[in-house]
Structure 1
Amino acid sequence: MGDNTTSVTEFILLGFPLDTRIQTLLFGLFSLFYVLTLLGNGVILGLISLDSRLHTPMYFFLSHLAIVDMAYACSTVPQMLLNLLSPAKPISFAGCITQTFLFLTFAAIECLLLVVMSYDRYVAICHPLRYSVIMSWRVCIMLVVTSWTIGVLLSLVHLVLLLPLPFCIAQKIDHFFCEIMAVLKLACADTHVNEIMVLTGSISMLVGPFSSIIISYMCILCAILRLQSGEGQRKAFSTCSSHLCVVGLFYGTAIIMYVGPRYGNPKEQKKYLLLFHSLFNPMLNPLIYTLKNSEVKNAMKRVLGIKRVL
């Protein structure tokens, strides 16, 4: 064992095996997407802060989702951009472990926030008269704090199990960032416990919450169909549609990535799914909420001083 292990100071990220010109093109494209992610989520945060009409539980949760999306992208995209420019693609051991921890943390928090947001919509549509009592500010803050706390604690479990592992001399990570399963493959020790914890965590943070969201929306659908007013049905569907799109994007790619079937080259499939998950999801979320949510669009008009022409 001693001949195959070393005191690791850095890892080499292999990234994507592409031609130099294609990597340069991707650097420009991904840099644009990264800026749009920060700008879009920043706009959402700004609108919610500036417009008092958006100071409601729904937009309080959305503001935290925007923060998590920005942090989620910041935990992986800068290193990926650096990898596209640097042929060696190195990352320090401490930086790699930190990146793994942050990615897992923000992924778990986003899972839980989406569940909280679906519960908020369930209460708003199925129990409208009791909404202000059930979703009090104290409850909202408690739900958000709980989401952040659970996300951090779950990631700490993986970190505690990962740090004691000895690593082999081969320090090349076949990924564009320090994804936990890719890092575990370099360990010169039995990683079955780590792998079981990753699978258990993936199932508990993906399948469980996604199932609760499905149940919430089944109740919401039944409540909407019972509405007599067509206008009321349309407004209720409009309120939920943006959240459903975000849920579909996030959970769809995540479930396929971690617990879905594998065809062809599963390693490459997972790599590209993670690219979509970490780069495109955070960029698309604010666009979805802006384009499909009339309250956000109206808030943007008010902030910009645009008056409706009658």
Structure 2
Amino acid sequence: MAKQLGDFGQFWRMVWQQEVEKIVMMTNLVEGKKTKCEKYWPDQHQSKLYGDIEVVCKVEKLYADFIWRQFTLSKFTSWPHKDIPDNVTSVKEFRLRVNALPCTFDGPVVVHCSAGVGRTGTYKALDILTKEGETEGAIDIPGCVLNMRQYRPNMIQTLSQYKYLHQALVHTLTLDCSMIRRDHFSEYMEKSSKQEIQRQFKGIGFYFSGDNETLKTGMVSLRSTTDQSAGHFVKRILHLEHEGKTKKDVTIPHYEYLYWDTKHNVPKSAEHFVAFINEVEDVSKASPLKGPILLHCLLKNIEEAFPPQFPKCVGKNLYHPPLPLVYAAKSQIE
């Protein structure tokens, strides 16, 4: 989006005339030291006149990988120029949020980045091919790219973007990631069979062995030993051994928090919980490894998916009592 559009009156007139309900921005305003796009909207809670169109920005919400504005404008911020995001999750969730926004006129979606070919082409192909796969059960990636390039040259600009499209499609077409609104969650649970819920949670379970026992998965062997046991948490040491060409052993501290009030989904003691967090942070800072801290919770059994009271829903994820809450201190396995 360049200065040639003047005050962007033509752009907003197009949005008005075509009854566009979603605008997808696939670039930052500035990347590095180079301006990639001019700001064509007003600040939050402000209004601005673009030609004969007044635009009001009522809401602006900042997420980890994008910004959502009401009127409706979605801005994706984690996609570098002529490159790809670090993972496919952010783009997948970004697309789900865009498609979940309500429509009134059934108008088109405007997608743009800087030049309008690389990131825009990748996003459009992902959306087109995901819908095609869900409907037809098969997709034609080269055919889709070729068809887009008939209308605009260089759509999907680099080889890395083309590879990224394949990886993203594996996720969108093989993982059930549909979003469930909070106010629709009870209805969803009532209509879903116990077998369907069990299928969604298949594979969730204990991933470490008992004390001094060895668990082997592929080329990785894992042995667990209890290092410390308190009333409110257990600390284990996980010993991982990779049997590849370059054999590498890794030792990871593993924390399991136990002291939960499962009825109210909160820790039983704020003092113990804060002490637990500080313990994990201290071990993490002292670790020679520079990886992230992995935080997760587990369902002990499928019965917890059907509690007496339906659990809350945050985004598309089910929020259950964290049984148990587990910290895995900083780790990096290559």
TM-score (norm 1): 0.27
Structure with bigger helix share is 1
Structure with bigger strand share is 2
Structure with greater Cα Rg: 2
Higher RCO (C-alpha 8 Å, min separation 6):
1
TM-score (norm 2): 0.26
